C-alpha cells in the first residue's frame, strides 16, 4: 500500500526512526509521501526522501502558514520541487476552520502555488477545510494542472461527485472508520475506484481502534478494510487499485 499523505517528519517519530521505517516495510507499506507544511520543514523532507528508498516528498505551504509565504519561499519551492524524489506540490489549499482572518492571503498563496504545480506539471495535494466552494473554484481557474488530490476529504458525497466529474482524486483517511462519519462513508461507497487514494495524515486522525492515539502509515490497512466493507468488496482489491492509482498519479 501507498500512504499518499503522512507527516512522519514530525517530532513524534524521530526516536528510533530507522526502526520505524523498517516496520513500515514489514507491514506492507511500499511508499509514503511526506507533505510540506511550512518552509522550515522542506530540507528535512528532502533529506528523509533521499535517505530512505520508500519515502518521497511534497513541497508546499499549508494555508494556516500562508503569512510565511514570500518571493524567497516561492523560489525555494520552485528549486526543491525539481528534486528527483519530490512528487507533488503540497500541502496547499484553504482552511476556513482554523484561520478565518486570512482568507484573502490564503487564496493568494494557494493560487501562486497552483501556478508552480501547473508550470512544473506536478500533482497537487489539496487541503480543504470548510472552504469547499472557494477551493473548487480556485482549482478550476487552472486548466492544465496534472493531477489534483483532495487530501483527507471532508466534503459531502455530492461535492465528491463534483470533484470526480472534474477528474480530481479523493484521498480518504482514518476518519472513514469513525462511527459518526456518515458523509465520508457514503463518499467511500460511491466514488469510482480509479479516483480513490489512501492516506493516514499521520500523526493525526488515527483510525479505529487507535482513535486518539499517534497515527502511523502501518494503520493504512484499517482504512482499506473499512472502505472494502463499505463497498462490499475484498480488501485486496482496495489495496491493489489504490496502490495502482498512486503509482500512476505520482509517476512511481
What value does the mean pLDDT take over residues 194-216?
Answer: 97
CB half-sphere exposure, 28, CA atoms < 13 A: 10
* CATH number, domain with residue 40: 3.20.20.140
User: Per the structure block, which three cell numbers stand in for 99?
Assistant: 484561520
pTM confidence score: 0.97
pLDDT, averaged across the chain: 97
Quick one: how far is CA 60 from the chain centroid? 11
DSSP 3-state of 26: helix
List b or e across 124-157, with b for residues whose CB sees 16 or more CB atoms inside 10 angstroms: bbbbbbebbebbbebbeeeeebebbbbbbbbbeb
Residues 107-112: contacts with CB under 8 Å, at least 24 apart: 107/134, 107/138, 108/66, 109/61, 109/63, 109/66, 109/69, 110/63, 110/66, 110/135, 110/138, 111/138, 111/141, 112/69, 112/74
Q: How many domains does the chain have?
A: 1
Helix (H), strand (E) counts: the chain: 9, 8
Range of the domain at 178: 2-249
pLDDT digits (tens, 9 = 90+) for 89-109: 999 999 999 878 999 999 999
Provide the pLDDT confidence category of residue 147 given band limits of 50, 70 and 90.
Answer: very high
Phi–psi pair at 205, nearest 5 degrees: 55, 45
| Segment 7-61, tens digit of pLDDT | 999 999 999 999 999 999 999 999 999 999 999 999 999 999 999 999 999 999 9
pLDDT for 238 beyond 80: yes
Amino acid at each position: 500500500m501507498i500512504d499518499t499523505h503522512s507527516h512522519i517528519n514530525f517530532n513524534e517519530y524521530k526516536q528510533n526512526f530507522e526502526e520505524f521505517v523498517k516496520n513500515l516495510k514489514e507491514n506492507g507499506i511500499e511508499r509514503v509521501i511526506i507533505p510540506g507544511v511550512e518552509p522550515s520543514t522542506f530540507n528535512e523532507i528532502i533529506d528523509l526522501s533521499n535517505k530512505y528508498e520508500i519515502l518521497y516528498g511534497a513541497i508546499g505551504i499549508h494555508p494556516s502558514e500562508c503569512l510565511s509565504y514570500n518571493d524567497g519561499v516561492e523560489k525555494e519551492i520552485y528549486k526543491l520541487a525539481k528534486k528527483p524524489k519530490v512528487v507533488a506540490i503540497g500541502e496547499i489549499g484553504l482552511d476556513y476552520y482554523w484561520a478565518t482572518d486570512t482568507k484573502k492571503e490564503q487564496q493568494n498563496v494557494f493560487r501562486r502555488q497552483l501556478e508552480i504545480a501547473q508550470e512544473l506539471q506536478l500533482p497537487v495535494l489539496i487541503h480543504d477545510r470548510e472552504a469547499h466552494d472557494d477551493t473548487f473554484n480556485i482549482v478550476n481557474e487552472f486548466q492544465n494542472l496534472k493531477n489534483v488530490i483532495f487530501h483527507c476529504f471532508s466534503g459531502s458525497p455530492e461535492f465528491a461527485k463534483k470533484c470526480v466529474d472534474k477528474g480530481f482524486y479523493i484521498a480518504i483517511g482514518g476518519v472513514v472508520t469513525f462511527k459518526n462519519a456518515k458523509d465520508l462513508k457514503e463518499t467511500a461507497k460511491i466514488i469510482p475506484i480509479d479516483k480513490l487514494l489512501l492516506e493516514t495524515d499521520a500523526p493525526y486522525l488515527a483510525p479505529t481502534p487507535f482513535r486518539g492515539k499517534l497515527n502511523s502509515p502501518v494503520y493504512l490497512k484499517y482504512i482499506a478494510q473499512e472502505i472494502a466493507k463499505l463497498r462490499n468488496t475484498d480488501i485486496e482489491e482496495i489495496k491493489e487499485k489504490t496502490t495502482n492509482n498512486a503509482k500512476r498519479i505520482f509517476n512511481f
